[in-house]
Amino acid sequence: MKNTLSVLTTKSVNGVARIKLNEPTTYNALSTKTLQLLIVSLRKLNIDDKIKVIIIEGSGKGFSAGHNLKEVRSLKKKIKYKKLFSLCSMLMLEIVQGNKPVIAKVHGAAFAAGCQLVASCDLAISSEEAMFATPGVNIGLFCSTPMVAISRKVSRKRIMKMLLTGEHIDAKHAKEIGLINDYYPIEQLESEVLKIAEKIASKSSLLIKIGKKAFYKQLEMPLNKAYQYTSKVMTENMMTMDAKEGISAFIEKRKPKWKNK
């Protein structure tokens, strides 16, 4: 794939594929073109049986500054604004509803829709110097769509402070409030992200798919409905070959041989 594209997708290595935001001159802004390419890339990877885990990262000085404000200013018509924000929402849903676990590898700034992208990923690991913010209030555009993803990972008062002040938070605080899983020195970030990606890739892809779908679906249910639903999921899970293999391997004290069936 040519490096002129704003999104680069690399081939799978040990079941791990990468999507790189590749527009460093705009701080990897999520333009219409970039959003479309991200959606296409995710859809292709989600139907590829060789792919077990997807890493999303940014090139240049940071992860993503969010929407391209020059593009936003040029749209002018209501229908065009709606199309842009709907497209961005479609990307976030593609991540959540996709078959594969998605890990955000974050360095530098992840602001506005870039922060939304981090929150939408199943896991997020950053460098120590990473910064996160929903700064829309500073430019007259409240971060309404980003708050959907972030408010599902962060408590109400903490996300409200970010939304109302527009101030950025550092990696340490982002971990404390649940926006990211962990942070590391920049020189250690790649190895740590790869370590967890390969660990996940070593599991049964069928079970990961079942579990990811069930996790997000039960979150939106009342407690009793969630237990009813997940009881059915676990029952179906028990009927898979990999469940039988996994239990047998544990009892027999050996490494399981997944069939992904």
Q: Does 176 map to a domain?
A: yes
Residue in 175, 180, 179 with CA at minimum distance from that of residue 152 = 179
Taking only the tens of pLDDT, the chain with its 261 residues reads 445 688 898 878 889 999 999 999 999 999 999 999 999 999 999 999 999 999 999 999 999 999 999 998 898 899 999 999 999 999 999 999 999 999 999 999 999 999 999 999 999 999 999 999 999 999 999 999 999 999 999 999 999 999 999 999 999 999 999 999 999 999 999 999 999 999 999 999 999 999 999 999 999 999 999 999 999 999 999 999 999 999 999 999 999 999 989
What pLDDT was estimated at residue 2?
A: 45
Same domain, 97 and 160: yes
Domain boundary among 161, 186, 201: 201
What pLDDT was estimated at residue 195?
A: 97
Q: Does 134 map to a domain?
A: yes
Inter-CA distances, 61 with 20, 184, 188, 238, 250, Å = 13, 16, 16, 46, 45
Same domain, 115 and 180: yes
Q: Does 2 map to a domain?
A: no
Strand order in the sheet with 131-133: 109-111, 131-133, 169-170
What pLDDT was estimated at residue 110?
A: 98
Same domain, 182 and 226: no
**Which domain CATH number covers 68?**
3.90.226.10
Answer for the pair 189, 126: CB distance below 8 angstroms, yes or no.
yes
Same domain, 215 and 196: no
Hey, what are 64's tokens? 């993503």
Same domain, 231 and 142: no
Length of the chain: 261
DSSP string, 81-136: HHHHHHHHHHHHHHHHHSSS-EEEEE-SEEETHHHHHHHHSSEEEEETT-EEE-GG
Same domain, 127 and 242: no
Domain that holds residue 105: 7-201
Classify 55 as helix, strand or coil.
Answer: strand
Classify residue 69 as exposed, middle or buried by CB count within 10 Å of its CB (0-12, 13-18, 19+). Answer: middle
Q: Does 259 map to a domain?
A: no
b/e string for 92-111 if b means 16 or more Cβ within 10 A?
bebbbebbbbbbbbbbbbbb
Number of domains within the chain = 2
**Which domain CATH number covers 243?**
1.10.12.10
Classify 33 as helix, strand or coil.
Answer: helix
- Taking each helix axis from N to C terminus, what angle separates 205-219 and 223-238, rounded to the nearest 10 degrees? 170
Same domain, 49 and 175: yes
- Show Cβ contacts of residue 131 under 8 Å, excluding neighbours closer than 6 positions: 108, 109, 110, 111, 168, 169, 170, 171
Residue in 134, 125, 188 with CA at minimum distance from that of residue 161 = 134
Same domain, 31 and 159: yes
Same domain, 185 and 197: yes
Q: Does 136 map to a domain?
A: yes
Q: Does 190 map to a domain?
A: yes
Same domain, 65 and 22: yes
Residue in 22, 10, 16 with CA at minimum distance from that of residue 191 = 16
Same domain, 157 and 243: no
Q: Does 156 map to a domain?
A: yes
What pLDDT was estimated at residue 42?
A: 96
- Show Cβ contacts of residue 31 under 8 Å, excluding neighbours closer than 6 positions: 6, 23, 67, 68, 71
b/e string for 180-199 if b means 16 or more Cβ within 10 A?
bbebbeeeebeebbbebbee
Q: Does 36 map to a domain?
A: yes
Same domain, 186 and 245: no
Strand partners, 106: 126
What predicted TM-score, i.e. pTM, was given to this entire model?
A: 0.94
Inter-CA distances, 35 with 61, 86, 95, Å = 20, 10, 12
